[in-house]
Structure formats: C-alpha cells, structure tokens
Chains A and B, each alone.
Chain A
Amino acid sequence: MVNDPITNKIEESSKERVYRKPGKLAFLNSKKVAPYVFISPFILSFLILTLYPAIQAFIMSFQRVLPGNVEFIGLSNYERVFNPTFYLALKNTTVYVILTVIILVVIPILLAVFLDSKLVRFKTIFRASLFIPSLTSIIVAGTIFRMMFGESDSAVANQVVGFFGLEAVDWRYNSWSAMFLMVTLASWRWMGVNVLYFLAALQSVPKELYESADIDGANIFKKFRYVTLPFLKPITIFVVTISIINGFRMFEESFVFWETSSPGNIGLSVIGYIYQEGIQQNDMGFGAAIGIILMLIIFAVSFIQLILTGAFKRSDE
C-alpha cells in the first residue's frame, strides 16, 4: 500500500496521502509521525528502564524493603548512610577517581600526540598493542593481575620488587597497595581506548596550522600548547567526564581482587557498599539511599568539572 510508486509520486504532502489512501497504517509514513516511530524504542526504554527505576530508587530510599513488607521510615536510611564504612568507601572511590582521571587523561594525550607525530615508527603496532588490554574482560584482567601480584616471592611483581632489593609486598593486604592494584588495573585496561579517542581527535587538526607555526618559529612545546591542545579540548572534556563517571562506578576492579569483602574494607567502593547492603544484606532501601547520595555527588562533580572546563560556553554548530 505504501509502496505504490505511482500514487506516491503524485503526492506532495504526506497528509494528503492519508486522506487518499485511508489504509490503517498509512499515517505512520507521514514525515511528522515517522521520527516518533524511530525514537519510540528510546522512549520506551527510557520510561521502563530509566525513569521508573529512578523514581523507584527515590521512593525506596525512604522505605524499609522486606519481602512482602514495605514501610515508609522517613529519612532514617539517609541518617544511617553517613557512617564510617560509607566514608571509607567514599574516600577510596574519590582517591580512585582522582588518580584514574589524571593518569587516563594526561598520559593518553601525550602518547596520542607522539603517535600522531612523525617521530614514531610502526604506529599501527604500537597503537594496537596499547589497545589490546581493553579487549580483556575485567575478570580475565583480574585473574592476570592476581597472578602477577601474588603474595609469594616468586610472583612477577615481587620478583621485580626483589630485583631492586626491596622486601616482597603483600599486595592485596595493604591499604596503599590495594589502591595501587585497582588504579593500575584500570589504567592498564583503559589507556589504549583513551589514546584512540585522542588520536581520533588529532585527525581534525589542520596540518597547515603546524606549517604556519613552523614559519613563525614556534618550537615543539609552543606548537603543542597553542595548536594541538585547543583542538583537543572537546575530546578532553568528553574523556574527563566519562572517566569521572566510570571512576565513581568502580566495583569490578575491587571485586576481582577481594570478591565482595576486602580486609579492613581497603578495596571497598561506594558501588561495592551498595552491593553489600542492597543485595547481600537485602536492605534495598538503604542501598537505594546510598545510590541517591552517590548520584548527587556525581552530578555535583560533573557539573563543577563542566563549568571549570568551560563546556557550557561553546558557540559552535
């Protein structure tokens, strides 16, 4: 019906077609309706899988949720959230976010700039080898890291430490080395991805700009500062935002080393705390309250970050 070429050709506006061919579904083909059909999967998924759970999370955070018995208990979940364990989880997560954001933004920019320059040979090989770690799943990566950072003297990490004449480290049982393990694991897995993001952005820097900078006698650092960096700004904002959010979502990097409980909670993250309380202790109301607070923190941090980097001041498009 809608594919009839002759009638369709005559029609100018889709409205007319609806009148002329009053098929049941003909209205779906109008230019006004089609976009709504196209976006309907998103709307559906948003309503069912985002909006509804978000409202539920908010409501649950004021409830004690037991199987078959749900009661409102006011703010007492929130009052309970601010306890030493939560503060420790928040501290761990914050340190993790700061370290991963610094490592996973600064180093990839430098690597990408070098990979894009004429200085480096075998670019494809280097690029590929940097990217390969991100193909491993967190569980596989965790398995490798547990074997490398084993407690015994014969594990790789302790062999290296021993080579420098230091004593073997119980990697999974110190607070500083716990953080080291998680940050190293994340950095190892995501470095290549971020390098690719920056490399992709570098393709947009017009090469003539470097030539004119050369004529003006700019040195390598000046070129980097005044030509390269400004072009990398949008992608940097993107990567920083994603890294902050992913950092606050940290759970798996801790899970692979200690499952759900680490000695003295040295590896506990906020999401890990939600998992402990909401799933393992089955205290969903409390878990939801932690989640709401985490969300507020993430929004505040992202917002401040976007203002500081001037993301709202864009005037393109």
Chain B
Amino acid sequence: MKKNNKALKWIVNLCFVFISFIALFPVFGLIVSSFRPSSDLMRSGMSLTFKFSELSLDNYLFIFTQADSYWQWYINSLIISSLIIVLSLFFSSMVGYALALYDFKGKNFVFTLVLFIIMVPFEILMLPLYKLMISFQLIDTYLAVMLPLIVAPIAVFFFRQYALGLPKELMDAARIDGTTEYGIFFKIMMPLMLPSFAAMAILQGLNSWNNFLWPLLVLRSDSMFTLPVGLATLLTPYGNNYDVLIAGSVMTIIPIVILFIYFQRFFISGLAVGGVKG
C-alpha cells in the first residue's frame, strides 16, 4: 500500500510539472523571443532552436528610445486602469454592502437585477452604447472607455457575498455612538471588507488592463489608444514594428504581475466567499 502511494505521488507530481511547463512555456517563449531579431520572428515563428549569439537587447533599446507612441499607450492604460480600479471598487462595494446589510424596499429586485446583468453579454449592448458615446461626444476619451466598467455587477455580487458575513451588531453599536450611516460604511465596515477589496482589485485590474473590444470601438486616435488596442495595430502581417510588439508585450505583463503579487494573499479567500455561496 505504501509503495503504491509513493508511485502515485511521483506520477501526479510529474504530471503537474508537465502541465506547469505547458502553462509557462509560451510566456518563457515570449520573453526569450523578445531578445531575438524581431523580423525573423513573425516570418518564421517562434522556434525551439536558436543561436545564443543572436540574442540581443536591440528590441528593448528600440522601444526605450524610439517608440514614443508605445509609451503613450502605456500611460493611457495605466491611467484608465487605475481609475477603473479605484472607482469601480468604491461604487461596487457601496452597492454590495447596502444589498447585504440593509433592509429596504426593492432590495431583492435590485439583487436579481445584478445577477441578471451578469448574464447579459456586454457585446450585445455594444452598438447602442457606441451610438450613445457618439451622441455624448465622448468618442476618443478616457471616460468612454471607463464608463461601462465603473459599476461592475460581478464585483457588486462579490462584495455583497462578502458583506453578508460581517457582524450587523457593529452597525447598531456605531449608530448609538452617533456615527452616521456613511461613517459606518467608510470608517467601520469598509476596513472589514479589505480582503474582498484586494480580490476585486486584481479582477478589475485584469479586466481593465486587458480590455480590448470596447476600447477598440471608442478610441480613434493613436495617442489615445490603450496597450491592447495599440499593440493590436502592430499585429498585422505587413507591419514592420515587431520589435515594439514583442518587447512591448513582455512589458505589458509587468504591472499586472505587480498587482497580483501585491494582493494575491487575499485573492483565494476573496474568491472563496463569492464563489461558494454563488
């Protein structure tokens, strides 16, 4: 029995090594490729065999010295994503908190609405929304990119699930102490909800940093592009900017990795609350 177990352990662990290899290989491939001559890459693809002598920093030198528009995209993405994280966490947590801890008329209706909107694909509303942005004259602005993401139903749902587990007695105690309803939320309950904030920061950060179709619609000029939209313009068979595309792709991953490392210890516990009761 014991021997059997040991063999099983080896097999399972080897399987995981293999699976992790598959998961990581493309990312490593990208990083290694970013040090190779970019013109070769798109023509002949990423190859398992290459000469170490052809590795160089050329792509990065180019991107740091001559790719001004790349850095403009980077700044656009950073601004838009940080604003989305801050605003969407602020608004979504307020809504989720009220849905969990207050009793008011229409509460169940609103919660059902939240669940319903999660089920409606954004892309179906995309055309009328696009028309709306045109009539608001918001085309080619940060605001147009951000608006649909500011109150995220999925985040509302997670915050509600998390807030359900908070002690309601604290609210009554605070009321007796003369704290206002808003003071209770901002000073007492919000700090208690921090783990869910961390989890949602990762989720919303990922969503906005990698958001593609909507920015593609509402952004027109090169100087307003976000990273995914900008990089996509380089992803053509006729382009000659593969150095920016490859090295630039590597550098888009950095902020999101930092965000993840920073918040990751709350991530699983945050997900657990939302998912399990879901």
Binding site for B on A (CB under 8 A): 2-6, 8-9, 29-32, 34-39, 41-46, 48-50, 52-54, 56-57, 60, 111, 114-115, 119-122, 125-126, 129-152, 154-159, 188, 191-192, 196-197, 199-201, 203-204, 234-235, 237-238, 241, 245, 248-249, 251-252, 255-256, 259, 271, 274-275, 278-279, 284, 287-288, 291-292, 294-295, 298-299, 302, 317
Q: How far is the CA of A44 from the CA of B91 in the complex (A)?
A: 11
Classify the interface of chain A: helix, strand, loop or mixed. helix
Q: How far is the CA of A115 from the CA of B131 in the complex (A)?
A: 47
Residues of chain A within 8 A (CB-CB) of B150 are 41, 45
- Contacts A38-B97, A199-B268, A251-B213 given; indicate if A9 touches B178 (C-beta within 8 A): yes
Is B169 an interface residue, CB under 8 A from the partner? no
- Contacts A35-B104, A147-B46, A155-B44 given; indicate if A135 touches B128 (C-beta within 8 A): no
- Contacts A142-B235, A204-B276 given; indicate if A9 touches B177 (C-beta within 8 A): yes
In the complex, are the beta carbons of A249 and B121 less than 8 A apart? yes
- Contacts A39-B98, A119-B9, A292-B124 given; indicate if A144 touches B46 (C-beta within 8 A): yes
Minimum CB–CB distance from A86 to chain B (whole Å) comes to 15
- Contacts A120-B16, A147-B46, A156-B47 given; indicate if A34 touches B27 (C-beta within 8 A): no
In the complex, are the beta carbons of A29 and B29 less than 8 A apart? no
Is B193 an interface residue, CB under 8 A from the partner? no
Q: Within the complex, which residue of A146, A252, A279 is in contact with B217, where a contact is CB–CB below 8 Å? A: A279
Residues of chain A within 8 A (CB-CB) of B9 are 119
CB interface residues, B 136-176, toward A, < 8 Å = 147-148, 150-151, 153, 156, 175-176
In the complex, are the beta carbons of A144 and B30 less than 8 A apart? yes
In the complex, are the beta carbons of B151 and A137 less than 8 A apart? no
Q: Within the complex, which residue of B12, B122, B228 is in contact with A114, where a contact is CB–CB below 8 Å? A: B12
Residues of chain B within 8 A (CB-CB) of A196 are 267-268, 271
Q: Within the complex, which residue of A50, A156, A201 is in contact with B29, where a contact is CB–CB below 8 Å? A: A156
Minimum CB–CB distance from B258 to chain A (whole Å) comes to 10
Name which residue of chain B comes closest to A290, CB basis.
B124
Classify the interface of chain B: helix, strand, loop or mixed. helix
Q: How far is the CA of A292 from the CA of B236 in the complex (A)?
A: 32
Minimum CB–CB distance from A215 to chain B (whole Å) comes to 16
Q: How far is the CA of A114 from the CA of B156 in the complex (A)?
A: 31
In the complex, are the beta carbons of A45 and B151 less than 8 A apart? yes
Residues of chain A within 8 A (CB-CB) of B46 are 144, 147-148, 150, 155-156
Residues of chain B within 8 A (CB-CB) of A44 are 151
List 20 additional A-B contacts (Cβ < 8 Å) besides A200-B275, A204-B272. Answer: A3-B183, A39-B95, A39-B99, A42-B95, A111-B19, A137-B209, A137-B227, A137-B231, A139-B227, A140-B231, A144-B27, A144-B46, A148-B45, A150-B45, A156-B46, A158-B45, A159-B49, A200-B269, A201-B276, A278-B127
In the complex, are the beta carbons of A114 and B16 less than 8 A apart? yes
- Contacts A111-B19, A138-B210 given; indicate if A42 touches B114 (C-beta within 8 A): yes
Q: How far is the CA of A25 from the CA of B228 in the complex (A)?
A: 44
Residues of chain A within 8 A (CB-CB) of B26 are 133, 141, 144-145, 148, 188
Residues of chain B within 8 A (CB-CB) of A251 are 123, 213
In the complex, are the beta carbons of B95 and A200 less than 8 A apart? no
In the complex, are the beta carbons of A135 and B45 less than 8 A apart? no
In the complex, are the beta carbons of A41 and B235 less than 8 A apart? no
Complex interface bits, B204-244 against A, C-beta within 8 A gives 1, otherwise 0:
00100110110001000000000110011001100000000
Name which residue of chain B comes closest to A298, CB basis.
B121
A-B pairs, 6 with minimum CB distance: A150-B45, A155-B45, A8-B178, A38-B98, A56-B128, A34-B181
Q: How far is the CA of A44 from the CA of B147 in the complex (A)?
A: 11
Is B86 an interface residue, CB under 8 A from the partner? no
Complex interface bits, B8-34 against A, C-beta within 8 A gives 1, otherwise 0:
110011001001101110110110010
Is B113 an interface residue, CB under 8 A from the partner? yes
Name which residue of chain A comes closest to B46, CB basis.
A147
Q: Within the complex, which residue of A53, A129, A203, A204 is in contact with B20, where a contact is CB–CB below 8 Å? A: A129
CB interface residues, B 51-90, toward A, < 8 Å = none
Minimum CB–CB distance from B10 to chain A (whole Å) comes to 10
Name which residue of chain B comes closest to A232, CB basis.
B276
Name which residue of chain A comes closest to B102, CB basis.
A35
Minimum CB–CB distance from B60 to chain A (whole Å) comes to 16
In the complex, are the beta carbons of A56 and B131 less than 8 A apart? yes
Residues of chain A within 8 A (CB-CB) of B19 are 111, 126, 130
In the complex, are the beta carbons of B231 and A139 less than 8 A apart? yes
Is B192 an interface residue, CB under 8 A from the partner? no
In the complex, are the beta carbons of B185 and A38 less than 8 A apart? yes
Q: Within the complex, which residue of B44, B104, B113, B156 is in contact with A150, where a contact is CB–CB below 8 Å? A: B44
Is B278 an interface residue, CB under 8 A from the partner? yes
CB interface residues, B 90-110, toward A, < 8 Å = 91-92, 94-95, 97-99, 102, 104, 107, 110
In the complex, are the beta carbons of B27 and A38 less than 8 A apart? no
Can you report 6 residue pairs joining A to B where beta carbons are below 8 Å apart? A53-B128, A191-B23, A249-B121, A252-B213, A271-B213, A302-B119
Q: How far is the CA of A141 from the CA of B256 in the complex (A)?
A: 14
In the complex, are the beta carbons of B127 and A256 less than 8 A apart? no
Complex interface bits, B234-269 against A, C-beta within 8 A gives 1, otherwise 0:
011000000001100100110011001000000111
- Contacts A38-B97, A135-B253, A249-B122 given; indicate if A143 touches B245 (C-beta within 8 A): yes
